[in-house]
Amino acid sequence: MKTTNTLVLWLAATATAQLPTPSQPLAAGSPPPASAPFQPIHDAQLQPTLERWAATATCKCGIAGDGFTIVPYLGAHAPTNLPWRWQLTAAHHGGIDLLGAEPATFTAGGERAERRHRLVTERWDLRATGIEQSFLIHGPGPGAEDLLLRGAVNSALYAAERSPQVAPLVFTAPDRSCELHYGTAIAIDAEGASVAVPVAFAAGTIELRVPGSFLATAVYPVLIDPLVQVFVFDNVVVTGSGITETAVDRVDATDRLSLVGAHVRWASSLDGDVLLQKHRDDFAYTSTLYADLSPNISSYSCGVAAVDGNDRFVAAWNRGSPGATSITYVVEPADATAVNLLRIANVPIGGSERAPRLGGHKGSGPGQTNALLVRLRDTGAGLPTEVWGSVIDTVTGVEGTPFRIAGGGQFLTRDCEEPWVTRDIAVAGNAWLCAWQQYTEGIDRWTVAVARVGTDGSVSSTMFTPDVPNVVTHAMQPRVEGARGRYLIAFATASATTWPGKLAIPYGTAVWAQRFDWAGATPAIAGPARVIGSSSSRDLVVGGIAHDGITNSHWVVGHGRTGQAPTVQRFGYQGILLDQGPLPGSSNGTSTWRLPSLAFDRQLERFPLLYGTRQVDQGIVRTLLWGGHFAHPTMAEPRVQGASCSGGHPAAIGRFRIGTAPAFLALFDGPPHQPTIAALSLGLADLPLAAYGIAGGCSLLVDPLAPQWLTGVFTTTDSSGYAPLMLSLPEPLQPVDLYVQWLTADGPAIRGSSRLHVEIR
């Protein structure tokens, strides 16, 4: 039999009125790995183009057989791309054509691209912070004449013409948003002798001249290596610069790359890029699955979700031209090394879809293999924006028939934005929860709504609407997560009196969180809405949310002021704050943060997070991608102590973390069908019961004296000698060490189990 008791009241007495001291959210208190975004050279990967692409911290590079193109990452505020294109046109030494008449041999892959001519090989080596161009001269021409290399440059970036100089050649954007430095070149022979190489620029041609006096005594081959660097400069508009969005989830992979992440960067308002990558759990190693880098296609707005039933993941992003985008999605095994097939979600003729979000299937057994793709659908000029969904069979990768979740005048809704969907569905027959913000006729403000979507595509006829302070408040940016009927929703609010009408940017002055339940036909509030962040300005943004699928009791939410270091907060089963901490990301200059995406690692029981920072040092922008973890407080496994006198074996079932409900203490193999007491205390003892006239030869192993003593809970064992005790560990609660011993009647004697030591943290 299961006994529910009021132990929570005694445990709560150990708590103070204050919340626990805020802790650093990252495991072991150390900063997470950070790296400049970098993508080695790869082929077009299912894209109809002859070019290959790579990406560095400041630019992307197109590599083809006849030339090399550099496209700076200016940000989404830039009106257009500013490419810089190079093509080697001539190489002469002493009247000898080093290129020759035969076509060059072209190879590209990894971090190097090269074109091999008759007596010269042109190389481009990709680095995280720059691009190293080099020319390998394989053999000399006659005499001691100068060696000339010429390359044609075609670019909107401007450089003044100049005579040969040993100094960088600087190309500048018309608005001075970036510079490309064609750096000082050096010639080095096979024995290490070197000489500076002057560089000239005229009529769109760069000329490198290696002195003949050096070549006369040089040992071949001779290497000439100018360094090309792109510098993007700081500007007032930062919202579209650097990494603007991330998504992450965890799927069990045997190759140790279990974290699947995606991030978005912009070369300009017309050219967004998505990189889909796999990361090791500690983020110390990254492998790219797919890079959508072509300037001809804009890719952005990404989502990722794992499906445990068949160890697969689904990723989706927008792909197309502005105003005419569709949703591209992929379904791949956990151990995939590359994307094998791009699929296009169903979209009506003339329509456009955006903002894909994915619901996964976590903690489920074989057979639970569906995913839910949710997106916004723009049905035409002047018509409402709607929320649509479709169920994806991850065995076949096939998308089912799309269905409308919200909009189209339903519930008097005029427009919908900011869709979200839970990723953890956990058990068969359950449902995803889909949230969105909607602008409603007659109310003239944004409100937040949540609906249930079944694995068969059915949509609930009822909605859940979280509490808001009053009827003249915008509610926006909903983020909801949970499973098995227990959910937390976070959202932003702003005064509709101060900011009336249909706000185009859904930033708030406060962030709220509320616990609610939805296990049956209708939802139920499980706790009041609470403010978890506030600002004097309308600049608060809600980021990712994740749910502990082991305890089904903890959530982590990221939020913050736009551009400033976000706060990551952990909540317990009542929706009350447990602890919090800021994200690292400092630099020598100033930093702008992106909101983190969050997931839950069921194996290591921690919350992976992925985010970007835009850092400015002396006016130069540097972009970093960060990965880390928000971890539960560490605690030891429950430990059995002391001797048993045939009174059974105590055990702890579940996780004894603060904010967990329920957790169980249990007695196994005790005397069957007998009264038993769970004696609980915060202190240790070793008191022989025989001294008190109690037969059985046992000792009391927990301290019965106040203030250590908590309570004794009466129940009975079943036919196998089993007796459970269900606990709730509410927030706020200070960390404690709990000791329990089961004392069971056995005829005239008392049998006592060993003592169980449980850390509650």
Tens of pLDDT along 733-758? Answer: 889 999 999 999 888 888 999 999 99
Tens of pLDDT along 299-325? Answer: 999 999 999 889 999 999 998 875 567
- CA distance linking residue 275 with residue 293, whole number of Å: 8
- CA distance linking residue 149 with residue 233, whole number of Å: 31
pLDDT score of 693 more than 80: no
Higher-scoring residue by pLDDT: 656, 618: 656
pLDDT computed for residue 587 by the predictor: 58
Span 583-610, average pLDDT: 87
Higher-scoring residue by pLDDT: 111, 4: 111
> What contacts 440, CB < 8 A, 6 or more positions away?
411, 412, 413, 414, 447
Q: Quick one: which H or E segment has residue 10? A: helix 7-12
CA distances from 705 to 402, 581, 756 (A): 65, 38, 18
pLDDT computed for residue 47 by the predictor: 52
> What contacts 281, CB < 8 A, 6 or more positions away?
250, 256, 258, 259, 601, 604, 608
Structure tokens at 54: 């790579």
pLDDT score of 701 more than 90: yes
710 torsion bin: left (phi>0), alpha (psi -120 to 50), beta (else): alpha
> What contacts 183, CB < 8 A, 6 or more positions away?
168, 226, 227, 228, 229
- CA distance linking residue 180 with residue 70, whole number of Å: 9
pTM for the structure as a whole: 0.91
In the chain, the largest separation of any two C-alpha atoms, in whole Å, equals 114
CA distances from 507 to 446, 482, 534, 541 (A): 11, 24, 11, 6
pLDDT computed for residue 449 by the predictor: 95
Span 14-28, average pLDDT: 36
Span 8-25, average pLDDT: 36
CA distances from 425 to 267, 368, 477, 646 (A): 37, 9, 21, 43
> What contacts 744, CB < 8 A, 6 or more positions away?
647, 648, 667, 670, 671, 674, 675, 676, 677, 717, 721, 750, 751, 752, 753
Higher-scoring residue by pLDDT: 10, 622: 622
- CA distance linking residue 64 with residue 72, whole number of Å: 18
Span 147-154, average pLDDT: 96
pLDDT score of 19 more than 50: no
- CA distance linking residue 271 with residue 513, whole number of Å: 36
pLDDT score of 347 more than 80: yes
- CA distance linking residue 744 with residue 738, whole number of Å: 20
Tens of pLDDT along 389-437? Answer: 999 999 999 999 999 999 876 555 678 999 999 998 766 567 899 999 9
- Which DSSP string do the residues of 312-325 spell out, in sequence order? EEEEEEEEEETTEE
CATH 1.10.10.10 fits 3-23+635-760, yes or no: no
211: DSSP letter? -
Question: Residue type for 553, please?
Answer: S
pLDDT computed for residue 365 by the predictor: 59
Q: Yes or no: say if 526 and 579 are a contact pair by the CB < 8 Å rule.
A: no
- CA distance linking residue 253 with residue 313, whole number of Å: 10
End-to-end CA distance of the chain: 28
CATH 3.30.300.180 fits 235-631, yes or no: no
pLDDT score of 685 more than 90: yes
Tens of pLDDT along 252-301? Answer: 899 999 999 999 999 999 999 999 999 999 998 999 999 988 888 899 99
Least confident window among 104-113, 261-270, 407-416, 541-550: 407-416
Tens of pLDDT along 193-249? Answer: 999 999 999 999 999 999 999 999 999 999 999 989 999 988 766 667 889 999 999
- CA distance linking residue 721 with residue 671, whole number of Å: 5
